[in-house]
Amino acid sequence: MQSLQEQIKAYEQDINSFTPADAKELEDYRIKYLGTKGIVKQIFGEMKNVPVEQKKEAGQVLNAFKQLAEAKYEEFKHLQNGALEKGPAVDITMPGTQLPLGTRHPLRMVENQIVSIFEKIGFSVATGPEIEDDWHNFTSLNMPEHHPARDMQDTFYVSQNPDWVLRTHTSSVQARIMEQGKLPVRVLCPGRVYRNETISARAHCFFHQCEGLYIDKGVSFADLKQALYYFVTEMFGPDTKVRFRPSYFPFTEPSAEMDISCTVCGGSGCNLCKHTGWVEILGCGMVHPNMLRNFGIDPEVYTGYAFGMGIERITQIKYQVNDLRLYSQNDVRFLKQFQSI
């Protein structure tokens, strides 16, 4: 009995390590183990020599061995034409399963367009944290504590630390760039910003901005106008007209808002432009001397301009999206429409 068991062990090892390379090897295996004169038969023949009291135990061992030998054969049996692989035969001529491909988000596409337009006139991209401290989001931007302009932006505060806010604009990134003290600077700051607004078709608690900052010796308002004019003609077409209206931002002086001629009606009046022929697209101005001083930059030597636009707004004007909520609902029917832009 002992030697029979050892013999079986050796055969088991042989079976376990067996992988046929082709149909012939599998057939050889079948004849060797499962054929009429095969090893399984032969070993079962040994049963007659096993003492009666061991017959039950030996029977179990032999049956297990037979099952193992058969299972190995079954594993490869269905493989024909030399295509020996594990698992069921595969029809390699069948078309594959189509995996749906996602698309870029429209806001990201428009952000990329804005960035590539400004890159052509020397702007590089800078990013910063979405949780900001008071200094970078407000105070350094000429909005000290209790300054009424803070109310222009409904702020989310971080409850653990009264000094922290969710940034209300990406001007905070401009502050961080100025802080580095390397001049001249010409940066674009795209990113997500947060304001405590009730969600509706026209307002959301978060949106995206792209702000720009250029500081050097001799930068003038004319440079600002020219850069922005270049931007809108690239973005909305060469016939786009612009106009500037005086405005107020604490961090710029003078400040302006820029309108473009309506992209839908061309100026004759429609719903997008509320029948005025103009749509507002951004705020801008010359960097306030106080802000330059906050970062140790001498306003007598350096001047700069800044501008900031909402990416949702640009997308809305360019592609006539009339409900801000669509951007964050992740409805593929909406997202897919931007596939080819």
DSSP 38: S
- Select the residue interacting with ligand PHE from 111, 134, 211, 259 (CB under 6 A): 211
- Select the residue interacting with ligand PHE from 231, 249, 302, 327 (CB under 6 A): 249
Find the shortest distance in angstroms from Cβ 270 to ligand PHE: 25
- Residues 171-190 touching ligand PHE, rule: CB under 6 A, are 171
- Residues 105-144 touching ligand PHE, rule: CB under 6 A, are none
283 in contact with ligand PHE (CB under 6 A):
yes
Q: How far is CA 215 from the centre of its chain?
A: 32
Q: Which stretch binds ligand PHE (CB under 6 A): 38-46, 68-76, 231-239, 283-291?
A: 283-291
Furthest C-alpha separation in the chain: 112
Q: How far is CA 87 from the centre of its chain?
A: 37
Neighbours of 152 (CB within 10 A): 15
In this structure, what is the dihedral angle of CA atoms 153, 156, 158, 164, given to the nearest 10 degrees? -10
The 3-state DSSP class for residue 180 equals coil
214 in contact with ligand PHE (CB under 6 A):
no
Residue 242 or 335 having the CB closest to ligand PHE: 242
285 in contact with ligand PHE (CB under 6 A):
yes
| CA torsion through residues 146, 150, 154, 159, sign | negative
In which order are the strands placed within the sheet that holds 185-194? 124-125, 185-194, 206-216, 303-310, 278-287, 252-261, 242-249
Find the shortest distance in angstroms from Cβ 191 to ligand PHE: 11
Find the shortest distance in angstroms from Cβ 171 to ligand PHE: 4
Count of chain residues binding ligand PHE (CB under 6 A): 11
The 3-state DSSP class for residue 246 equals strand
Residue 69 or 279 having the CB closest to ligand PHE: 279
Q: Which stretch binds ligand PHE (CB under 6 A): 114-122, 178-186, 301-309, 326-334?
A: 301-309
- Select the residue interacting with ligand PHE from 15, 306, 314, 326 (CB under 6 A): 306
Query: Which residue, 64, 296, 48, is CA-closest to 179?
Result: 296
- Select the residue interacting with ligand PHE from 15, 308, 317, 327 (CB under 6 A): 308
Query: Which residue, 54, 244, 33, 122, is CA-closest to 25?
Result: 33
169 in contact with ligand PHE (CB under 6 A):
yes
Bond preceding residue 254 cis, omega within 30 of 0:
yes
Find the shortest distance in angstroms from Cβ 330 to ligand PHE: 26
Find the shortest distance in angstroms from Cβ 256 to ligand PHE: 8
- Rounded to whole angstroms, the Cα distance separating 209 from 197 reads 16
Find the shortest distance in angstroms from Cβ 152 to ligand PHE: 7
Binding site for ligand PHE (CB under 6 A): 169, 171, 211, 249, 252, 283-285, 306-308
